[in-house]
C-alpha cells in the first residue's frame, strides 16, 4: 500500500469516527436537555469515555472481557468442529444437501435465544448454556460458507488428485481444506459477529461475570456512564476480533489462486 493510499484510508476512517462521535454527542445533548430523559445524561461521550478510562486503569475491563471471550471461544470452537465437516459433506454430496436443505434452513431461522429455556434445562451450569447458545448461532455461517466454498472448487482438482493416487485423507488435507480455507475463515468471521451479538443478552441471566452481566449490573445500579463505557468496550473488542479474522482471510486467500 502506498503512503498516499494509507493516508487517504486513515483520513476516511477518522472522518467516519468523527461523524459517529458527533452523532453521539448530539443525541446525548438532546437526552440531557429533555426533563423526561435527563437522568440518562451520563450516556454522553464525556462521562462514558472517563468511565472507560477508569475501568482500564483499574483493570476492571480485562476482568469483564475474559469470561465473555472464553464463552465465545468455546462456542465458536464447537461451531467450527461441527460446521466444517458438515459443510464439506454438503459441498461434496448433492444428495445430502438436498435432504438437509429444508430442516437446516428451518433451524437456521430460529433465534438462538429461543433455545435458552432448553439450554438451561439441559446444562448444569450457565456457562454451558451460554456456550451452547453461541454454538447454535455460529454453526450455520461456518457450515454454509464451507459448503459454498467447496462447490466453487474446480472438479478437475479432485480428478487430478485421484489420478495421482490420493486417498480420502490426502484429498481432504491437500485439496479440500487448502481450497476452502478462506471460505471457512469467512464463515468464522460471520459466525463471530453473530456470536458476539448473542453473547450479551445470554449473559443477562444467571452469570455473575462477563460483558453482558456488566451492562445489566450498570443498568440496575443506574451507572449509565459505566454502561456506555461497557458498550464501547464491546464494540472495540468485537472490531479487533473481526480485524484478526480479516487478516487471516487475506493470508489464506492465495491458496485459491495458486
Could you list the pLDDT tens digit for every one of the 258 residues in the chain?
A: 677 787 888 888 888 889 988 888 888 888 888 888 777 888 888 889 999 999 999 988 898 999 999 999 999 999 999 999 999 999 888 899 899 989 999 998 988 888 888 888 889 888 999 999 999 999 999 999 999 988 888 777 777 777 777 777 777 777 778 888 889 999 999 999 999 999 988 888 778 889 999 998 888 888 888 999 999 999 999 999 999 999 888 887 654 444
Q: Look at residue 186 in the predicted model and tell me its pLDDT.
A: 93
Q: Look at residue 99 in the predicted model and tell me its pLDDT.
A: 92
Q: Look at residue 207 in the predicted model and tell me its pLDDT.
A: 84
> What distance lies between CA 77 and its chain's CA centroid?
12
**Cell digits of residue 74:** 468455546
Complete domains list, the chain, with CATH: 1-40 (no CATH), 44-257 (1.10.3720.10)
Q: Look at residue 184 in the predicted model and tell me its pLDDT.
A: 92
pTM: 0.84
C-alpha span between 215 and 145 (Å, rounded): 32
Q: Look at residue 258 in the predicted model and tell me its pLDDT.
A: 45
**Cell digits of residue 15:** 472522518
**What does 59-107 look like in DSSP terms, one character per residue?**
THHHHHHHHHHHHHHHHHHHHHHHHHHHHHHHHH-HHHHHHHHHHHHHH
Amino acid at each position: 500500500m502506498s503512503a498516499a493510499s494509507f493516508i487517504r484510508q486513515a483520513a476516511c476512517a477518522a472522518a467516519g469516527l468523527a461523524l459517529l462521535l458527533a452523532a453521539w454527542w448530539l443525541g446525548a445533548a438532546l437526552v440531557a436537555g429533555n426533563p423526561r430523559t435527563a437522568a440518562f445524561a451520563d450516556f454522553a461521550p464525556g462521562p462514558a469515555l472517563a468511565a472507560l478510562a477508569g475501568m482500564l486503569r483499574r483493570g476492571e475491563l480485562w476482568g469483564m472481557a475474559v469470561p465473555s471471550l472464553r464463552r465465545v471461544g468455546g462456542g465458536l470452537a464447537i461451531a467450527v468442529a461441527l460446521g466444517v465437516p458438515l459443510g464439506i459433506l454438503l459441498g461434496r454430496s448433492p444428495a445430502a444437501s438436498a435432504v438437509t436443505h429444508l430442516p437446516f434452513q428451518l433451524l437456521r431461522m430460529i433465534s438462538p435465544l429461543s433455545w435458552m429455556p432448553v439450554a438451561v434445562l439441559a446444562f448444569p451450569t450457565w456457562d454451558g448454556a451460554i456456550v451452547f447458545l453461541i454454538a447454535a448461532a455460529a454453526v450455520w455461517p461456518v457450515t454454509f460458507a464451507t459448503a459454498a466454498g467447496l462447490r466453487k472448487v474446480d472438479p478437475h482438482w479432485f480428478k487430478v488428485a485421484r489420478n495421482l493416487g490420493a486417498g480420502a485423507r490426502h484429498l481432504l488435507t491437500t485439496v479440500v481444506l487448502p481450497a476452502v480455507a478462506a471460505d471457512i475463515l469467512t464463515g468464522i468471521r460471520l459466525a463471530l459477529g453473530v456470536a458476539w451479538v448473542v453473547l450479551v443478552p445470554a449473559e443477562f441471566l444467571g452469570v455473575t461475570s462477563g460483558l453482558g452481566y456488566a451492562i445489566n449490573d450498570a443498568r440496575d445500579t443506574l451507572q449509565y456512564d459505566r454502561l456506555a463505557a461497557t458498550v464501547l468496550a464491546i464494540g472495540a473488542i468485537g472490531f479487533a476480533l473481526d480485524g484478526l479474522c480479516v487478516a487471516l482471510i487475506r493470508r489464506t486467500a492465495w491458496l485459491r489462486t495458486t
